[in-house]
């Protein structure tokens, strides 16, 4: 048996991590009382953090108290979860760290959690003869390092992700350009399911194609240029082609800053609604702002003021579209705002916060989920499970831009999708590509190269 002492962020990442770590009751879970205090302080939040805190509360409420052990040094309350997972909540009667001065609240709580974990490591050796080891589990790098420096075996929460570059775009020399519908395996014996895009080159010609259900789809590049925004490089052409293909149900774009990801997605969505493929565009974003202030967002439609406050990427994109394609020389800033509002109304552009999506069903919509690297696996699952079969969803994210302190590149929604998009499936049409060419400007390009 292994004992895992969990930091607060493990629960706030996903309350069901308790069951993942427990592995069907093989391991014992321990939560210091400070973790319970921190979870209790978060439960009233309406965002992702509050949802996970309340989810943990429900798990605990549905559990059974098996035992309460009291000692001059500690109190341990043992819960049985789901009939198999044993969870101990440990409270020390005295914490040495509390006698030290000048420690801020956050650091004090971290040190109290680590002190409790060190106590568990020592005490549980006496209580359980079959104990293999005690492990402290945390996503917080500083807390994790502090625990290691104090001699506590520590690990970060990870999943079995393959941390590598995905070959979404592949260059292939061919004798001739294949016809639409040609089996990709007939022209590329080394084809892997993650090879969604092909640059096909003959002696005198180059064509772009993407793969759908194992078959070649040649890209009509002239057709791509009919909307507000024209793709500026091959990466954008692949992305736009899949975004415009109504039968491509889930499109994943792994992109760096300044690559035009949101602009392309919204432009394609506007074209899709204009051609009546979908009734509306729904924009969903999970960021630091929504984690902290999301309770005020709710479900919005055509509200320019709130779009500006809570959805800057969307509003900036609408502003760019208006200024680049829909503006006359005599138009004033007031005219710009009116045209943005008209664009929102005409194409039924709605924004949705993840806290307002639970219990809803989104139908006949072109859905853009932005910043998916800031979604936990659970919250991204919640959003995707709200979409009806007549929806199309474009998921955009970059593991270089993680702002949510309760996820990392191993545990977030983007990494989950990146890995799942390697495997063929029969349920839905998937497409994935990358946008790693900066089109915003030289400063952004320099920044990406310098800080990558």
The rounded distance, in Å, linking the Cα atoms of 290 and 383 is 14
Q: What is the pLDDT of residue 311?
A: 73
Write the class of the CATH domain 230-451: alpha beta
Q: What is the Cα gyration radius of the chain?
A: 25
pLDDT tens over the chain, length 452 residues? 899 999 999 999 889 899 999 999 999 999 999 999 999 999 887 667 888 899 999 999 999 999 999 999 999 999 999 899 999 999 999 998 888 877 887 789 999 999 999 999 999 998 888 889 999 999 888 888 899 999 999 988 766 555 567 899 999 999 999 999 999 999 999 999 999 999 999 999 999 999 999 999 999 999 998 888 889 899 999 999 999 999 999 999 998 888 888 899 999 999 999 999 999 999 998 755 444 443 344 444 444 454 445 577 888 888 888 888 777 878 888 998 899 899 999 999 998 877 677 778 999 999 999 989 988 888 888 899 999 999 999 999 998 888 877 787 878 889 889 988 888 878 899 999 999 887 776 776 666 666 55
Helices (H), 275-423: 288-293, 304-310, 312-325, 333-346, 377-384, 413-420
Q: Is 426 exposed, middle or buried (0-12, 13-18, 19+ CB in 10 A)?
A: exposed
**Architecture of the domain delimited by 2-155:** 3-Layer(aba) Sandwich (3.40)
Residue 177 forms beta bridges with which residues?
Answer: none
Residue 210 forms beta bridges with which residues?
Answer: 197, 217
Q: What is the pLDDT of residue 298?
A: 43
∠ CA 424-169-324, nearest 5°, is: 115
Q: Do domains 2-155 and 230-451 have the same CATH topology?
A: yes
Q: What is the pLDDT of residue 449?
A: 65
Q: What is the pLDDT of residue 275?
A: 94
The rounded distance, in Å, linking the Cα atoms of 433 and 416 is 15
Q: What is the pLDDT of residue 10?
A: 93
Q: What is the pLDDT of residue 295?
A: 36
The rounded distance, in Å, linking the Cα atoms of 52 and 193 is 34
In 146-196, beta strands by DSSP E: 154-155, 169-173
| Domain boundaries along the sequence of the chain | 2-155, 230-451
The dihedral over CA atoms of 29, 33, 38, 41, expressed in degrees to the nearest 10, equals 120
Q: What is the pLDDT of residue 309?
A: 52
Q: What is the pLDDT of residue 442?
A: 72
């Amino acid at each position: 048996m292994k004992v895992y002492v969990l930091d607060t962020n493990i629960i706030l990442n996903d309350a069901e991590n308790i069951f993942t770590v427990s592995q069907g009751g093989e391991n014992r879970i321990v939560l210091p009382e400070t973790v319970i205090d921190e979870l209790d302080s978060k439960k009233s939040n309406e965002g992702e953090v509050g949802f996970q805190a309340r989810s943990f509360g429900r798990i605990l409420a549905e559990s059974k108290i098996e035992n309460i052990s009291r000692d001059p040094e500690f109190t341990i309350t043992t819960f049985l979860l789901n009939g198999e997972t044993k969870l101990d909540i440990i409270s020390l009667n005295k914490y040495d760290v509390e006698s030290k001065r000048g420690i801020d609240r956050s650091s004090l709580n971290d040190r109290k959690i680590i002190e409790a974990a060190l106590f568990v490591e020592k005490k549980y050796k006496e209580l359980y003869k079959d104990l293999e080891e005690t492990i402290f589990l945390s996503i917080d790098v500083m807390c994790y390092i502090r625990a290691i420096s104090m001699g506590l075996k520590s690990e970060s929460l990870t999943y079995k992700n393959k941390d590598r570059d995905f070959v979404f775009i592949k260059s292939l020399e061919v004798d001739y350009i294949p016809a639409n519908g040609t089996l990709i395996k007939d022209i590329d014996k080394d084809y892997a399911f993650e090879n969604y895009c092909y640059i096909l080159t003959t002696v005198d010609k180059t064509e772009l194609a993407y793969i759908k259900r194992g078959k070649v789809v040649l890209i009509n590049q002239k057709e791509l240029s009919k909307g507000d925004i024209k793709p500026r490089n091959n990466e954008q052409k692949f992305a736009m082609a899949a975004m415009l293909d109504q039968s491509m149900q889930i499109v994943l774009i792994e992109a760096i800053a300044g690559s035009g990801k949101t602009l392309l997605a919204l432009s394609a969505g506007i074209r899709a609604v204009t051609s009546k493929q979908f009734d509306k565009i729904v924009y969903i974003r999970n960021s630091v702002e929504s984690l902290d202030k999301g309770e005020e967002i709710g479900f919005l439609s055509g509200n320019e003021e709130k779009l500006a406050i809570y959805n800057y990427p969307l509003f900036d994109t609408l502003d760019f579209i208006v200024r680049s394609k829909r503006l006359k020389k005599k138009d004033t800033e007031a005219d710009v705002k009116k045209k943005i509002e008209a664009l929102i109304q005409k194409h039924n552009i709605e924004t949705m916060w993840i806290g307002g999506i639970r219990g809803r069903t989104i139908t006949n919509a072109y859905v853009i989920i932005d910043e998916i690297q800031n979604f936990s696996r659970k919250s991204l699952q919640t959003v995707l499970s709200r979409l009806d079969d007549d929806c199309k969803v474009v998921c955009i994210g970059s593991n270089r831009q993680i702002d949510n302190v309760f996820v990392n590149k191993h545990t977030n929604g983007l990494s989950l999708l990146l890995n799942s998009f390697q495997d063929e499936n029969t349920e839905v049409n998937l497409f994935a590509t990358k946008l790693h060419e900066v089109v915003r400007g030289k400063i952004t390009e320099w920044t990406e190269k310098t800080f990558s």
